[in-house]
Structure 1
Amino acid sequence: MKKILFVCTGNTCRSIMAEGIFNDAILKEEESMRQFVASSAGIAAFDGDCASENALNVMKSWNIDISCHKAKRITPEEVNSAFLILTMTREHKRVLHKFFPGAKDKIFTLKEFAYEDIEEIRIKSADISDPYGKDEDIYRECAVEIRDAVDKVIEKLKHKYI
Structure 2
Amino acid sequence: MKILFVCTGNTCRSSMAEALAKKLLRDRAGNNSNVQFFSAGIAAFPEEPASREAVRAMSEMGINLKHHRATKLSQCQSLEADLILTMTRGHLEHVKNIFPQFAAKVFTLAEYAGSTGDVPDPIGQPLAGYRRCARRLEELITGVLDRLLQKTNEKD
- TM score, norm. by length of structure 1: 0.91
Within the alignment, does 1:15 sit opposite 2:8 as a pair?
A: no
The answer to whether the 8 A contact 1:33-1:158 is kept is no
The answer to whether the 8 A contact 1:83-1:106 is kept is yes
118, 121, 125: which one pairs with 1:130? 121
Distance 1:37 1:22 in 2: 9
Deviation at 1:33, TM superposition (A): 6.0
What's the RMSD between the two structures over aligned residues?
Answer: 1.2
Aligned position for 2:70: 71
Within the alignment, does 1:151 sit opposite 2:142 as a pair?
A: yes
Deviation at 1:160, TM superposition (A): 1.4
Aligned with 1:10: secondary structure?
coil
Distance 1:32 1:23 in 2: 10
Aligned position for 1:96: 95
The answer to whether the 8 A contact 1:51-1:71 is kept is yes
Q: Structure 1 residues 33, 91: closer, same or farther in 2, change over 3 A? A: farther
Q: Percent identity?
A: 38
Q: Deviations over 1:39-88 (max 9, x none)?
A: 10000000010000000000001111111100010000000000110000
Where do 4+ consecutive residues of structure 1 move more than 3 Å? none
Unaligned runs of 5+ in 1: none
Q: Deviations over 1:92-112 (max 9, x none)?
A: 000000011111111000000
Within the alignment, does 1:107 sit opposite 2:98 as a pair?
A: no
Distance 2:26 2:20 in 1: 10
Question: How many residues of Structure 1 are paired with residues of Structure 2 in the alignment?
Answer: 153
The answer to whether the 8 A contact 1:14-1:88 is kept is yes
Q: 1:48-67 alignment to 2 at 5 Å?
A: 48-67=47-66
Question: Residue type matched to 1:130 in 2?
Answer: D
Unaligned runs of 5+ in 2: none
Deviation at 1:37, TM superposition (A): 1.3
Deviation at 1:13, TM superposition (A): 0.1
Aligned with 1:28: secondary structure?
helix
Q: Deviations over 1:106-161 (max 9, x none)?
A: 1000000001xxxx52xxxx100000011000000011001000000000000113
Question: Residue type matched to 1:24 in 2?
Answer: K
Aligned position for 2:81: 82
- TM score, norm. by length of structure 2: 0.94
Aligned with 2:3: secondary structure?
strand
Question: Residue type matched to 2:9 in 1?
Answer: G
